[in-house]
A = this chain, B = another copy of it.
Amino acid sequence: MSDTTITATPGGYEVVIKREFNATKDKVFEAYNDPELFVQWIGPSALTTKIDSWDAVPGGKWRYVSKDSDGNEYGFHGYYHDIVENERIVQTFEFEGMPGRASLNAVKFEENNGKTMVTSVAVFENQEDRDGMLSSGMERGVNQGYDRLTALLEK
**A binding-site residues for B, Cβ under 8 Å:** 9, 11-14, 58-59, 61, 79, 81-82, 84, 88, 90, 92, 94, 99-104, 106, 121, 123-126
CA A102 to CA B13, docked complex, whole Å: 15
- Could you tell me if B123 and A13 are in contact, using CB atoms closer than 8 angstroms? yes
Chain A interface SS verdict (over half): strand
Q: Give, as a whole number of angstroms, the nearest-CB distance from A136 to chain B.
A: 18
Task: Give the oligomeric copy count.
Answer: 2
Nearest-neighbor residue (CB-CB) of A11 within chain B:
B9
Closest to A130 in B: B123
In-complex Cβ contact of A104 among B12, B84, B125 (8 A): B125
Which residues of chain B are near A12, meaning CB under 8 Å?
12-13
Contacts of A101 in B (CB 8 A): 82
Given contacts A59-B61, A82-B101, A104-B104, 4 further A-B contacts (CB under 8 A): A9-B11, A82-B99, A90-B102, A92-B104
Contacts of A59 in B (CB 8 A): 61, 79
